[in-house]
Chain A
Amino acid sequence: MQQIIYFFIKYRNFLLFVLLFSIATYFTIQTHNYHSDKFFSSANVVTGTLYNFKTSITTYFSLAKENKKLVEENVYLRKQIEYYKDVTEPAAIDTTIFPLFDYQAAKIINNNYAYTKNYLTLNKGARDGVVTDMGVISGRGLVGIVSRVSENFSTVQSVLNTNSRTNAKLKKSGHFGTLVWDTQNPNIVQLIDIPRLTEIEQGDTIITGGKSVIFPEGILIGVIESFRPDDFDENYYVIDVSLFTDMTSLENVYLIKNNFAEELYELEMSVSDE
C-alpha cells in the first residue's frame, strides 16, 4: 500500500499531465464531429457578454465601411426588384401560404479565420428563435451554418472550417458539387465533385445548389479563380472559388430559417428507416 502511495507521489506530475492532456485531447476530438455535443463553446453567458461588450466598442471604427456595404446591397436588391417589375405583373401575395424561407438580421460579435476549424459568434440566440442548422449569409454571399445555440448567443460553423460541406452549383451549367476548404487562404474555398465533362471558365459564378434544407437555391458564393483535375480521381475537377464575402471583415449577417425544415427532416428520416 505504501508502495502505491509512494508511486503516486513520485510520479504525480506525470500522472496529472497524462490525465489533463487526455481530457484536452478528448475536447479537441469532439470538435471534429459537427453534430457531437461539445462541452464548451463561445455561446455561453460569460464569453458572449464579453464579446458583445467588445463589439459595442469596435463597431464604431468600421461604421463608414459597413454603411457602404449595406448601401451596395440595397442597390443590388433594388436592381433586382426593377428587373422583376419589367418582366411580370406583381403577383398577389397570398398571406395564407407560408414562405419557404424566413430571414432575420444578426450581428457578428466574434470572428475567427486563423484556425483550420473556424467559428463565428452571433448576438442572437434561442430567445430570438435561432435553432441549430440555420443558414447564415452576408449581404454578399454565403457565411456558414449555426452549430450551437444558447439563450442569447449562437456559434456558426464558418465555410472556413474543414468540417464544412455545402451543396453548391455552377450558375451557368447547373452542375452540382460540394464546397470544402483546404485551410490555405481565408478568401478561397474549393468546389469538388464537378465532373470533367463540364465546361468551366475562370470567372464563372458559383451559387448554392438548393439541394439542402439549409440554404435556398441561388445564394451567391463566389467566382472561379482557377481549376485543376482532382489528384485522386482524374474525372473530376477541384475548383478554387474566390468568395464574394470577405470573411475577414464581417459584421452584419442574415439568418435563414427554413419554415419546413422539421417536416422535411421527418420525411427524410421516415424514408431512410424503410
Chain B
Amino acid sequence: MSSNQTFIYILRFVVLVLVQVFLLNNINLNGYINPYIYLLFILLYPFNGNSTLLIIWSFFLGLSIDIFENSGGIHAAASVFAAYLRPYVLKFSFGLSYEYNVVKISKSSLPEKLTYLGTMIFLHHLMLFMMEIFSFNHLLLVLKSTVFSGIFTFILIYSSIVLFGNKSE
C-alpha cells in the first residue's frame, strides 16, 4: 500500500467518523432510526486490498464511534464482523472475477452492486443491534431496527456512491 493511499484511507476514516457522530447520529428518526454511513469505509476498501489490514482498520473505526457514543464496543464488533465476512460477500455478489481486480463498485452491474451493498449492510446492522440490545427475547426489536436503519443506510450509501463514485475509485 503506497503512502498516498494510506493518507486517503486516514482522511476517509476521519471524515466518516465526524460525519457519523456530529451529523447522522442526531437524526433519530422516529426516536431510534439512524443511518450508519461509516460502513462506507469498509465497502469502498479496494476489493483486492489486504483483508487482514481491513479487519484492523474496521476495529478502530467502530471503536472511534463507540467512544463518542458511550456504547461500549457494539460498533467495533459489528464492523469487525462485516470486515471479516467481506471477502465471502464479494465472492457471492461478483463471482470469482473480483479477485482479479477487474471489478469496480461504480462500474459493476446494478444487481451485483445491490447484492453486495444490501448483504453487507444487513450483516453489519444485524450484528450491531444484536450487540446493542443483547437479548434473545427481543429478536423482533432487533430485526425491526435492522430493517429500518438498514434501509436508511442503504439509501445514503448508494447515493454517496453515485455522487462521488467516479472520484473515489
Contact = CB atoms under 8 A, between A and B. Distances in A.
Interface string A114-132: 1111010100000000000
Interface residues of A, number: 40
Interface in A5-30: 12-14, 16-17, 20-21, 23-30
The residue in B66, B70, B72, B81 that gathers the most chain A C-beta atoms within 10 A of its C-beta is B70
B72 A29 contact: yes
A47 B59 contact: no
Nearest to A119: B70
A42 B59 contact: no
A28 B70 contact: no
Bin the interface of chain B by size.
35 or more
Nearest to A23: B73
A24 B80 contact: yes
B44 interface: no
Contact of A114 (B28, B77, B81): B28
B68 A26 contact: no
A113 B121 CA distance: 22
A41 interface: yes
B56 interface: yes
A114 B34 contact: yes
A10 to B, nearest CB: 12
B157 interface: no
Contacts of B52: 12-13, 16
Interface of B: 22, 25, 28, 31-34, 51-52, 55-56, 59, 62-63, 66-74, 76-77, 80-81, 83-84, 87, 131-134, 141
User: Which 4 residue pairs are nearest across A and B when measured between Cβ atoms?
Assistant: A27-B73, A24-B73, A24-B77, A31-B72
